[in-house]
Every structure is written in C-alpha cells, then in structure tokens.
Amino acid sequence: MYELSFNGTIFKADIDNARAVLGGICWSQGLHAVKRVLTYAGPPQPHPKGLPRLEHVTQIPPTNNPQQPPRPLPVWGALSKELLRSSYYVRLVYPVSPEKDFGNGLDVDLNAVAGTLQWLDFPDPPKGQPFTQRRKLEIPGQGNLPKVMVDNKYEFEQEFIEETWSFVKDGDFEIVLTRFFTLPQTDAETQTQATRLPPWSELRPLDPAGKWVVSIKSFAWEENNPEEVKKAASQILEERTFFDKLFTFEPVDRRDLDTRVPPPGRTM
C-alpha cells in the first residue's frame, strides 16, 4: 500500500474547534484512539537480515482457529523481503484505554495481547509532487510480537503513547489529528520496555507547546498499479485545495521521515 499525505500542526487551544469542523465535514464525531507504541531497530546497516524466524508468530482470536495451529500470514513474507533489502525501524502498536490501562498497577505481557506490526518505508523522492509518498505495511491481530522481534535480533529503541482523532471523508480519504506523549523517565541507563503504564496524568506531551499534528491522507491500495497511484495523487491534491482553507500544511524533509537503521557511528 502507498500512503500519500500532507502534514501540519494545530495548537492545543484550537483542537476542539478543529474536531467540530471536521465532524461537520465528515458527518461524524470522529474515532478516538490511544495506542501504546514500541519501536524496534533491525540489525545495523549494511547487514539487514529480514525476519528469518517466525516460529513464535500467533494470531489472536477471533482470527485464530483453536483447532488449527496458527501460521504466519503471507504478508509476513512480504515484510521479510523488504527488511532484507535494508534494515529498518518497525513499530509495535497496541490499543490502550486511558481509563483502564494507565495507573492500575498491573503488569502487562505484550506477548499475550494482540498488536499490530507496522512498517513505513523511506519516502519516495519528491519528483515534483508536494506531498509525502511512501509505502506502508501493517499486520494486525498478532501475538508474541516482542518475542518475534527478539528472535530476529531486533533491539528495543523507545516507547511512547499516541493519541489520535480520525475522520473519514467520502469513504476513503482520511484526516487524522495526532499527539504524542512520553513515559516518565526511569533511572536505567538504557531504554527498557515499561512493565506497567503510569497514571495518565504523569504523561508528558512530546511537543512542549502541546501541539497536535494534522495529516490528510489518500491511499493506493495496489501499490504496483500506476493508475491507482495516480488516482490517489489526484485525490490528495484536490483535497489539499479544500483543506488549505482550514489548516496550514508544512513542507516535510523526507530525511526527517527516514525509517532506515543507520550504520554504527553514523546518524541519518
């Protein structure tokens, strides 16, 4: 899948107005979601290894049939091929509830709950277009994701909380408002995955000003179909003209969205 997007920011004081306007445009109150996001880094360049070990991959019900041992979905093979040509950061994404999952004092085993593995490619060269275009792959409903990462020598990098409001226009065009939170620092010298989540009140916005990111997105579901990619490009340019009246979109340097793991001693 190709994701085409324009991005900007909204001040915290304007977020309620933005949601109200988008609700009127999309005839929807929007979908609110909070996600726990863990980032893992593949082996340093120039030695990508893909995902050769998938024996611990499981599918969490309802897709899992207890009468049949779960097998990795075919999309795992497609992802492994991408991670063989270059080493990347990948994200493990878990839905959480501010009311139930934060500050409850309970340890969570993320291998036992369903998560989504998400890979985003380095954005394509601009080629004259003003939007950001990059490939995206998601594998939802998977168990044992941290175990699979360890099996394949992927190293934990960081963890944060992502809050979104999502709206859909005309059936397939997406508008997303996003903000990020960091977890309280620990005394450990290296980053480690949290065993339990702190109270929601202890989270701190990643942006000191509390701004939200606004993204408008179109999609080419068949990435090898030039006509579908062209259609998605036409759609986002048309919608950009409409949403320019509401938001200010800012140019994005594709290097700021580089998801490839750099060689030791060099940053990207």
Taking the C-alpha atoms of residue 92 and residue 36, their distance in angstroms, rounded to an integer, is 8
pLDDT of residue 61: 72
Cα-based angle 261, 266, 268 (whole degrees, multiple of 5): 55
pLDDT of residue 189: 55
What is the tens place of the pLDDT at every residue in 202-236?
Answer: 999 999 999 999 999 999 999 889 999 999 999 99
Residue 199 region by backbone torsions, left for phi larger than 0, else alpha for psi between -120 and 50, else beta: beta
More confident residue, 66 or 116: 116
Taking the C-alpha atoms of residue 108 and residue 198, their distance in angstroms, rounded to an integer, is 12
Cis geometry, peptide bond prior to residue 205 (ω within 30 degrees of 0): no
pTM: 0.92
| 3-state percent helix, strand, coil for the chain, nearest multiple of 5 | 25, 30, 45
pLDDT of residue 195: 87
What is the tens place of the pLDDT at every residue in 148-167?
Answer: 999 999 999 999 999 999 99
Q: What residues contact residue 67 under an 8 Å CB cut-off, 6+ apart? A: none
* 8 A C-beta contact, residue 6 and residue 240: yes
What is the tens place of the pLDDT at every residue in 9-52?
Answer: 999 999 999 999 999 999 999 999 999 999 999 998 888 999 99
* 8 A C-beta contact, residue 117 and residue 138: yes
* 8 A C-beta contact, residue 23 and residue 167: yes
- What residues form DSSP beta bridges with 177? 165, 214
Average model confidence (pLDDT) across the chain: 92
More confident residue, 129 or 34: 34
